[in-house]
Amino acid sequence: MPMFCRQCEQAAKGVGCDVVGVCGKNPEVAALLDLMLYGLKGLAIYADKARGLDVRNKVADMFLIEGLFTTVTNVDFDPVQLAGKLRKCYDLKEQVKAQYETACREKGVQAAAVTDGPAAWVIAGTLEELVAQGRAHGVKTQQADVDILSAIEIIVYGLKGMAAYADHAFILGKTDEEVFAFFHSALAATTDTSKGLMDFVGIAMECGKLNIKVMGMLNEGHVEHYGHPVPTKVQLGTRKNKAILVSGHDLRMLEELLKQTEGKGIDIYTHGEMLPAHGYPGLKKYPHLYGNFGGAWQDQAKEFPNFPGAIIFNTNCIQRPADSYQDRLFSWGEVGWPGVKHLSGWHFDEVINKALECPDMPDAPGQEILTGFGHNAVLGVADKVIEAVKGGALKHFFLIGGCDGAKSGRNYYTEFAEKVPKDCVILTLACGKYRFNKLEFGDIGGIPRLLDVGQCNDAYSAVQIALALAGAFNCGVNELPLSFILSWYEQKAHIILLSLLYLGIKNIKLGPALPAYLSPNVLQFLVDNFNIGQIGSVDADLKACLGQ
């Protein structure tokens, strides 16, 4: 087959994309991404061995994170850009290998002989040859028991998702030696044929554990730079001015753009997962951070033609651009699309100049919605929440959030939110909120019934809220009147699920479809130990959550 990929929720026929990716990647790009993962495993093997001899390579540490982020769904579709990253991956692998062998000689230790597998990979010379190499190392080429392969994929996709959060944290100056070491050891372990199924299950749980630390690091970085989010009204309309639309997740990039556009007559609009940026005091202080345009990532093709200004993607969720806006579209960070101008570094003159050339936005004010309900804001009114629960005014909490997507079945989340009883509160996060965040839900004694906790990484805030409530009521999280109704699309949602499972959270409803990479036995393990289940009918699921 030309390709095979099943890492996202939209895997074709619930099995895997084997002709072209539903995300838009072609077989050539799929092969290069498979080769990137293969090369990163080789780098991880030597970095892990070197670390055992107290040898570290900071460049390799950072690149492993960036390389894994590159392979996340909807990040890099540019073959030329990928080829450059592959050559860097190979050069770093050889560099760390040499450092390891030197350390062995200095310490009088016998260096491990590696004659095959990813550690022995020698990079091909041409793009066509790189593609051929990648096709030899996809998921379907791996020889392993179906359950072991499933567990390995769970680890790999967890590492990919965690890498995205780690990359944002590192950009804000938050690094951690334990995190670097785990990335290397866990990725290297996926090549170890001596390990059994339960070994990999244990690593998957460790992955969930480490991700809580990584999300905490990212939260610290955000708070140190921009303050705790505060409840904030966000304008969904537009005003007459030049404009730049920022899509993605990276707040540091948004901050730099805001600084460089001050006094230039340009308004900055957020898109998708950038919506929560409006709640941070350090960002909302800029008066030209005006509003949010459009909805979730999958609607960009029909919404972006109606945005007359410049557009920039700073993380994943890019789709094939239409000709009507490709000439004013830019990518940054690990993002790439053939023919789209890629910006490196922290200077945004090109996107600013393009915005100044473009027509003004129309003067069309619109609805306002609330964001900014991070754990600090919610716990600041914890006394009111606890009083409302004890008094019977607030009966149940629902966390309804996660990734949005184009596949049918996601209207379930809109219907579920609409049918949540009026004596219940909805916590939401990530772009799944766009299914219902423009609806009116009212409040319970001044507590809004819809609380937008933030981006997908702000699952950290949702966990902190749940743990604080459990502490206040002197019970476990599973004993709280709290239900998790999650939607997923790609690997960042996957790692959050692993974190929730590590915390022992049970009875999670997941959808629209369960991961195609779960073997029947691995799925049964999750059902038996965590009672995880696929979403069903809204009415039946709602009654089950409420114990009716």
Which domains are assigned to the chain?
Answer: 12-224 (1.20.1270.20), 232-357 (3.40.50.2030), 373-545 (3.40.50.2030)
**pLDDT confidence bin for 105, thresholds 50/70/90:** very high
| pLDDT per position as a tens digit, 258-291 | 999 999 999 999 999 999 999 999 999 999 999 9
CB of 197 closer than 8 Å to CB of 149: no
- 2-5 contacts, C-beta under 8 A, 24 or more apart: 2/27, 2/30, 3/27, 3/30, 3/31, 3/135, 3/138, 4/30, 4/138, 4/139, 4/140, 5/30, 5/138, 5/139
pLDDT beyond 90 at 496: yes
The encoded tokens of residue 131 equal 């593609």
The encoded tokens of residue 309 equal 């200004």
The one-letter amino acid code at 347 reads H
| pLDDT per position as a tens digit, 19-28 | 999 999 999 9
How far out from the chain centre does Cα 480 lie? 27
The encoded tokens of residue 1 equal 């087959």
- pLDDT, residue 78, reads 98
> Comparing C-alpha atoms, which of 440, 435, 439 is closest to residue 409?
435
> Comparing C-alpha atoms, which of 279, 333, 316 is closest to residue 458?
279
- pLDDT, residue 456, reads 95
- pLDDT, residue 532, reads 97
- Going from the C-alpha of 53 to that of each of 102, 103, 136, 187, the distances in angstroms are 10, 7, 32, 18
pLDDT beyond 90 at 150: yes
- pLDDT, residue 446, reads 94
The one-letter amino acid code at 155 reads I
Longest dimension (CA), the chain: 73
pLDDT averaged over every residue in the chain: 97
The encoded tokens of residue 152 equal 């390995």
For residue 307, count CB atoms less than 10 angstroms from its CB and return exposed for 0-12, middle for 13-18, buried for 19 or more: buried
The encoded tokens of residue 469 equal 């409530």
In the chain, what percentage of residues exceed pLDDT 70?
Answer: 100
**pLDDT confidence bin for 115, thresholds 50/70/90:** confident
Cis omega (within 30 of 0) for bond into 308: no
Cβ neighbours of 367 (radius 10 Å): 11
> Comparing C-alpha atoms, which of 332, 337, 329, 333 is closest to residue 354?
329
The one-letter amino acid code at 545 reads C
How much is the average pLDDT of 230-236?
98
For residue 295, count CB atoms less than 10 angstroms from its CB and return exposed for 0-12, middle for 13-18, buried for 19 or more: buried
| pLDDT per position as a tens digit, 6-50 | 999 999 999 999 999 999 999 999 999 999 999 999 999 999 999
- Is beta strand 310-313 parallel, antiparallel or unpaired with respect to 368-371? unpaired
In the chain, what percentage of residues exceed pLDDT 90?
Answer: 97
- pLDDT, residue 293, reads 98
| pLDDT per position as a tens digit, 339-387 | 999 999 999 999 999 999 999 999 999 999 999 999 999 999 999 999 9
**pLDDT confidence bin for 113, thresholds 50/70/90:** confident
- 522-526 contacts, C-beta under 8 A, 24 or more apart: 522/147, 522/150, 522/151, 522/154, 525/201, 526/501
- Say how far apart CA 71 and CA 443 lie, in whole Å: 41
- pLDDT, residue 106, reads 97
- Say how far apart CA 360 and CA 372 lie, in whole Å: 29
| pLDDT per position as a tens digit, 406-448 | 877 899 999 999 999 999 999 999 999 999 999 999 999 999 9
Helix ranges, 108-229 (H): 127-135, 146-171, 177-189, 197-226
- Is beta strand 242-247 parallel, antiparallel or unpaired with respect to 266-271? parallel
- Say how far apart CA 129 and CA 106 lie, in whole Å: 37
- pLDDT, residue 1, reads 76
- pLDDT, residue 505, reads 97
Residues 6 or more apart whose Cβ sits within 8 Å of residue 134 = 30, 31, 32, 33, 34, 35, 36, 38
Helix ranges, 446-517 (H): 459-472, 491-502
CB of 352 closer than 8 Å to CB of 261: yes
**pLDDT confidence bin for 143, thresholds 50/70/90:** confident
> Comparing C-alpha atoms, which of 23, 24, 22, 31 is closest to residue 2?
31
How much is the average pLDDT of 450-459?
96
pLDDT beyond 80 at 512: yes
Helix ranges, 323-436 (H): 323-326, 349-357, 375-379, 382-390, 411-419
pTM: 0.97
